Amino acid sequence: MIRRSLVGALGLAVIVGGAVRAEDKAPVIAAASDLKFALGDVAARFEAETGHRVALNFGSSGNFARQIQQGAPFELFMSADEDFVFRLADAGLTRDRGTLYGVGRIVLFTPRGSTLKLDADLQGVRTGWSGVRKFAIANPEHAPYGRAAQQALQTLGLWQLVQPKLVLGENIAQTAQFVTSGSAEAGVIALSLALAPEVARQGQHVLLAESLHRPLRQRMVLTRCAGATATMFYRYLQTAPARGILRQYGFVLPGE
């Protein structure tokens, strides 16, 4: 039952405001999956205040960038790695080079009942490694949080140790599912997911130092096909209420 509820909570596609009919023409937003809970809250408030709906599609930033290059009709792209936005801009697929909306952080997360000791240097993982069957991170090939996890593990001298037991999530939300469900004894996930009540009650986390990996600079941009509602939502994301929600989920905001 717990696993089923978490799959629903961390599912990769959500339409805010209920089912969207064809005539509603809700713009489809491609968003990094670390935004699953934060952006859902922002979008719900946006609809309540404006009456406009947006359709949220969550996944890995690298996969979304490739889909946009192939003509996917996303109107707003929110990437966990700003380099993907810059590449699309250089290819002429966006209105401009977008706006930085936050910097992400990573945590070590263990499921409820785990015997691993949590510490920011991952010494507990090292000493308790014999009891670990699987260690979860997002796929570094296309998920920015996976790359950050790999960099942190390399910096701490643990990469060679964990590789034989790695299980790779397609994105950071799936990685969180692996750990909260107990399919992995530990993993590195986004702070924004670890802070969500639906995830927090399923385990414990410790924040990892920013110095362990390259900054997760997250940028959003309107694509060439963006319409009025997507533009309105893009601007709303830069207002104080939206920024407050992102801050609540652990994002470091521009200018702060």
Domain ranges for the chain: 2-103+217-248, 104-212
Query: What is the value of pTM for the model shown?
Result: 0.89
pLDDT digits (tens), the chain, 256 positions: 334 334 444 544 444 444 434 445 899 999 999 999 999 999 999 999 999 999 999 999 999 999 999 999 999 999 999 999 999 999 999 999 999 999 999 999 999 989 899 999 999 999 999 999 999 999 999 999 999 999 999 999 999 999 999 999 999 999 999 999 999 999 999 999 999 999 999 999 999 999 999 999 999 999 999 999 999 999 999 999 999 999 999 999 998 8
**95/66 Cα distance (integer angstroms):** 17
> What's the CATH fold of domain 104-212?
D-Maltodextrin-Binding Protein; domain 2 (3.40.190)
Over residues 23-43, the pLDDT tens digits come to 458 999 999 999 999 999 999
- The hierarchical CATH code for the domain 2-103+217-248 is 3.40.190.10
Q: What is the pLDDT of residue 93?
A: 98
Q: Same fold for the domain at 2-103+217-248 and the one at 104-212?
A: yes
Structure tokens at 57: 């599609």
Q: Which residues pair with 218 in a beta bridge?
A: 102
Distance CA 144, CA 147 (A): 5
